[in-house]
Amino acid sequence: MSADLLVQASGLGKSYPRVFRRSDRLRALLGLLAGRQTGEVTPVLQDIDLSVLRGQSLGLIGDNGAGKSTLLKLLTGVLTPSQGSVRVNGRIGALLELGAGFHPEYSGRDNIAMAAALQGFSADELAARLSDIIAFADIGHYIDEPVKHYSSGMVVRLGFAIVAATRPDLLITDEVLAVGDESFQKKCVRWMEDYLAQGGTLILVSHSMYHIQKLCRQALWLRQGRMQACGDVYEVTQAYLAYHERKSAGEGPAARDLDAVRGLEFHVRGMRVNGEEAETLTPVDHGAPLTVEATIASRDGRVPVVNIGIARADGTPVYGVSTDMDGVQPAPLADGDYRIVLHFPALPLLPASYTIRVHPLDTEGMRLFDTLERLLTVRGRSSESGLVRLAHTWEHAAPLVRPRRE
In CATH, 53-78+92-247 is 3.40.50.300: yes
Instruction: Name the more confident of 271 and 255.
Output: 271
pTM over the 0.75 mark: no
**What is the pLDDT, as a whole number, of residue 312?**
86
Nearest Cα to Cα of residue 170 among 203, 193, 198: 203
Which of 22-26, 132-136, 245-249 reaches the highest mean pLDDT?
132-136
- For 311-374, the DSSP string reads EETTS-EEEEEETTTTT--PEE-TTS-EEEEEEESS--BPSEEEEEEEEEE-TTS--B---EEE
pLDDT class for 333, splitting at 50, 70, 90?
Answer: very high
Average pLDDT of span 170-174: 88
**How large is the average pLDDT for residues 166-176?**
84
More confident residue, 295 or 39: 295
Note the pLDDT of residue 201. Answer: 93
Calpha distance 384→358 (Å, rounded): 28
* pLDDT classification of 290: cutoffs 50, 70, 90: very high
Q: Which of 50, 55, 90, 88 lies closest to 67 in space, CA to CA?
A: 50
Could you tell me which residue, 97 or 113, shows the higher pLDDT? 113
CATH architecture observed for domain 258-379: Distorted Sandwich (2.70)
Indicate the average pLDDT of the chain. 84
Write out pLDDT tens, residues 257-275. Answer: 677 777 788 999 999 999 9
- State yes or no: pLDDT of 406 exceeds 60: no
Q: So where are the chain's domains?
A: 53-78+92-247, 258-379
* pLDDT (mean) for 166-178: 81
For 315-333, what is the mean pLDDT?
Answer: 91
